[in-house]
Amino acid sequence: MSEAATVDTANTTTAVDIRGVSKIFGAGSDAFTALDDVSVAIRENEFFTLLGPSGCGKTTLLRLIAGFEHATRGTVLLYGEDISDQPPYERPVNTVFQSYALFPHLTVAQNVSFGLEMLGREKSEIREAVDRMLKLVRMEPMRNRRTEQISGGQQQRVALARALAPRPKVLLLDEPLSALDLKLRKEMQGELKRLQHETGITFIFVTHDQEEALTMSDRVAVMNEGRILQVGSPREIYDRPGDRFVASFIGEMNFLVSKIESVESDRVRVVFPGGAAAFAERPKDFEPAGEVTLAVRPEYVRIENAGTPDTLPATVTEKVYFGTDTHYHLRLHDGAELVSRLQNARGREDTHPVGDRVGVRWATGSAQILKG
């Protein structure tokens, strides 16, 4: 899936415009296509995330925007200017790497000022920028400490301050949180979003972590095998995945094989191998026929007492307690398996032990018919 080259539906400005970009490494039998005809428009002042598994091409695309790689085909535009052949130092773009790449023998303030000094900025401008950046990332009390004397999370903030100090038009972030522990990573997710909002700079963020993408992004591009499969808001990506890969990569999903029995204006009635039937939302972009895959999130699967009308008969095969919720593993009478996630609450009785025969249901709008 590709997105239109220019976004103007709400008087928005396109910051980065990727048009038909392919990147091939090597030649002949050793050639490897890292990016395959990628097109996407990234808007000014948005937090845009490239999400996908290792080797999907997301870091290669980021490096093309930075100028560290050059496209085999296609163009990269920054605010309408073709920068495809510009070297990195001529692009108003900065990158925060996974390793941070700070100078351990320099202080926090000296690390932040280093890039400005290399650009030949006036000393008064450098002092003002360093003060502003340290205040922005909340590192003022540690300005005179060497970076080897501060924590990983603090080093992350210094790397961000150094990248933001020259006021780039676009900030590229290549999995900058992956080296942090879970608690600190969650804290920095909020900090990154705050920094993006306060600076108004377009952030392009690379990650393989679905939770990071969903919690931080204005829009997400899901990638696989060198292609962008879907672009949308976190809610659109989660609630309306475009194909089976996106549905399986984002969160948890139940997939059930079924056959189309009838098609109505807004819903599809499907029949499972065991003879039970259910409804799913009718796809808008294709007409389903024959055998299809029905997809429904575990949190939308409801468990009722056995024999409840309009439910699928099932048996509880396993329960897994996660603190905030419990996952019920269920087997339908035809052998198909699915999971229901029920939020835990004090005083709620566990009425469905392992081995219990139950009925399961979901709202029509919660289930989809998927391609692929």
- What is d(CA 116, CA 229) in angstroms, rounded to the nearest whole number? 39
C-beta of residue 5 within 8 angstroms of C-beta of residue 80: no
Counted residue by residue, the chain has a size of: 372
The strand pairing partners of 341, in sequence order, are: 327
C-beta of residue 361 within 8 angstroms of C-beta of residue 311: yes
* pLDDT attached to residue 372: 52
Cβ neighbors of 48 (< 8 A, separation 6 or more) are 42, 202, 203, 204, 205, 217, 218, 219, 220, 221
- What is d(CA 272, CA 183) in angstroms, rounded to the nearest whole number? 43
* pLDDT attached to residue 50: 97
Q: Which two tokens stand for residue 122?
A: 């006036």
Give mean pLDDT in consecutive 10-residue pieces for the chain, a chain of 372 residues. 40 90 92 96 96 95 96 96 94 88 90 89 91 89 91 87 91 86 82 89 94 94 97 94 92 92 86 87 73 93 92 94 92 93 79 92 89 58
* pLDDT attached to residue 349: 67
* Residue entry with tokens 């220019």: 6
C-beta of residue 33 within 8 angstroms of C-beta of residue 24: yes
How many CB atoms are closer than 10 A to CB 345?
A: 8
Strand-strand pairing, 93-96 and 170-174:
parallel
* pLDDT attached to residue 8: 40
